[in-house]
């Protein structure tokens, strides 16, 4: 019954995917063709039209990249990852995604444990979290990324029955944005759930993050205060084996 349920949920997700995506893509194509037609007709406002076209093309490619990542969720290619090194490598990428008026602070401790995850997917997930933080802050604010080791005692102290006992590496991404009301938190991991204006959000970012973290044997949590900000915490299991690629657990 479990696999039948999983299968039907998957089919439902695919159905929603097709509908939602076809709709978004049509809108994007419409913007491109309308702007090209206007340029052909008038020759005026060329720069503004070109900007609109470029904007639509960028939205289209972002959407297709997310869709591909969604469709290709499996298989993961895990390797031994130090999240501190990974985050440091992403520094300029994250700063560019956040924009100039948003400061990104990385708090990294020495002696961070390793974890066994697909580094490319983890990068995607973190980039999505930073983009969400940016979108929640309307221009100015701060994103703090905190990395740390959580031993078995601190995991037990969390008293979260769904987090397996054990040792984890924590990646917490906090923003000083608008926050999320409880009804948004409740649905945030659903594929295609978005509160963003049409064409801006795909509703796939957090659902992909959730899928990736679960497949990696970890956990993801949202803590948010409307008007103050949001923290997304990702717990990835500690890996004590030797470096190098390894098959999924
Ligand atoms: P998308 O960003 O395309 O809308 P996500 O799955 O990444 O899709 O996020 C779903 C929804 O969760 C967003 O539309 C937004 O309402 C909410 N959300 C996610 N991250 C944040 C955040 N850092 N601050 C406030 N709301 C957020």
Ligand 1 pocket, 229 CB below 6 A? no
Residue nearest to atom 14 of ligand 1 (CA): 194
**Burial of residue 89 (number of CB atoms within 10 Å: 0-12, 13-18, 19+):** exposed
pLDDT digits (tens, 9 = 90+) for 47-87: 888 888 888 888 887 777 777 666 655 677 899 999 999 99
Q: What is the ipTM of this complex?
A: 0.99
Question: Which of 106-110, 158-162, 196-200 ranks highest by mean pLDDT?
Answer: 158-162
Task: State the distance from the centre of ligand 1 to the C-alpha of 242, rounded, in angstroms.
Answer: 36
H or E segment to which residue 167 belongs: none
- What proportion of the chain, given as a percentage, has pLDDT over 70? 86
Coil, strand or helix at 142: strand
In angstroms, the CA 166 to CA 237 distance is 8
Ligand 1 pocket, 206 CB below 6 A? yes
Ligand 1 pocket, 201 CB below 6 A? yes
Better-predicted residue by pLDDT, 187 or 41: 187
pLDDT of residue 230: 98
Locus of tokens 């959580």? 150
> Is 70 exceeded by the pLDDT of residue 2?
no
At residue 144, φ and ψ (nearest 5 deg) are -110, 125
Task: State the distance from the centre of ligand 1 to the C-alpha of 202, rounded, in angstroms.
Answer: 9
pLDDT of residue 227: 95
Task: State the distance from the centre of ligand 1 to the C-alpha of 229, rounded, in angstroms.
Answer: 12
Phi-psi region of 229 (alpha: psi -120 to 50; beta: other; left: phi over 0): left
Q: What is the pTM of this model?
A: 0.75
Averaged pLDDT for residues 132-152: 94
> Is 90 exceeded by the pLDDT of residue 126?
yes
pLDDT digits (tens, 9 = 90+) for 190-233: 888 899 987 778 788 898 899 899 989 999 999 999 999 999 99
Ligand 1 pocket, 195 CB below 6 A? yes
pLDDT of residue 189: 92
Ligand 1 pocket, 211 CB below 6 A? no
pLDDT of residue 202: 79
Ligand 1 pocket, 79 CB below 6 A? no
In angstroms, the CA 98 to CA 178 distance is 16
Q: Which two tokens stand for residue 36?
A: 């090209």
Angle at 35 between CA 17 and CA 16, to 5 degrees: 5
Coil, strand or helix at 234: strand
Please, are residues 206 and 67 in contact by the beta-carbon 8 Å criterion?
no
> Is 60 exceeded by the pLDDT of residue 32?
yes
Ligand 1 pocket, 200 CB below 6 A? no
Q: Which residues contact 109 (CB under 8 A, 6 or more apart)?
A: 84, 147, 148, 149
Better-predicted residue by pLDDT, 81 or 14: 81
Q: How many residues does the chain have?
A: 249
pLDDT of residue 204: 83
Better-predicted residue by pLDDT, 12 or 36: 36
In angstroms, the CA 98 to CA 156 distance is 34
Beta strands per DSSP E along the chain: 79-81, 102-107, 114-117, 141-150, 168-175, 219-225, 229-239
Ligand 1: atom nearest CA of 131 is 2
Averaged pLDDT for residues 10-25: 66
Better-predicted residue by pLDDT, 21 or 123: 123
Task: State the distance from the centre of ligand 1 to the C-alpha of 48, rounded, in angstroms.
Answer: 29
Ligand 1 pocket, 132 CB below 6 A? yes
Locus of tokens 């795909």? 202
Q: Which two tokens stand for residue 170?
A: 């924590």
In angstroms, the CA 52 to CA 5 distance is 43
Ligand 1 pocket, 124 CB below 6 A? no
């Amino acid at each position: 019954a479990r696999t039948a349920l999983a299968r039907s949920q998957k089919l439902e997700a695919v159905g929603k995917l097709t509908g939602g995506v076809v709709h978004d893509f049509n809108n994007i194509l419409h913007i491109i063709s309308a702007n090209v037609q206007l340029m052909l007709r008038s020759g005026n406002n060329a720069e503004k039209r070109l900007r609109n076209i470029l904007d639509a093309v960028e939205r289209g490619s972002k959407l297709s990249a997310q869709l591909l990542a969604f469709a290709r969720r499996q298989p993961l290619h895990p390797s031994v990852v130090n999240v501190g090194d990974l985050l440091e490598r992403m520094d300029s990428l994250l700063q560019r995604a956040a924009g100039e008026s948003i400061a990104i602070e990385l708090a990294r401790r020495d002696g961070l444990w390793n974890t066994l995850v697909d580094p490319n997917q983890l990068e995607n997930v973190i980039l999505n979290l930073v983009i969400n933080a940016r979108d929640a802050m309307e221009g100015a604010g701060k994103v703090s990324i905190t990395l740390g080791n959580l031993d078995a005692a601190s995991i037990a102290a969390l008293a979260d029955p769904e987090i397996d006992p054990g040792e984890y590496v924590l990646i917490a991404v906090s923003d000083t944005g608008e926050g999320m009301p409880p009804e948004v938190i409740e649905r945030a991991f659903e594929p295609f759930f978005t509160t963003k204006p049409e064409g801006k959000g795909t509703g796939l970012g957090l659902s992909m993050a959730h899928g990736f973290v679960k497949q990696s044997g970890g956990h993801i949590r949202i803590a948010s205060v409307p008007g103050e900000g949001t923290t997304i915490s990702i717990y990835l299991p500690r890996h004590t084996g030797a470096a190098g690629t390894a098959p999924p657990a």
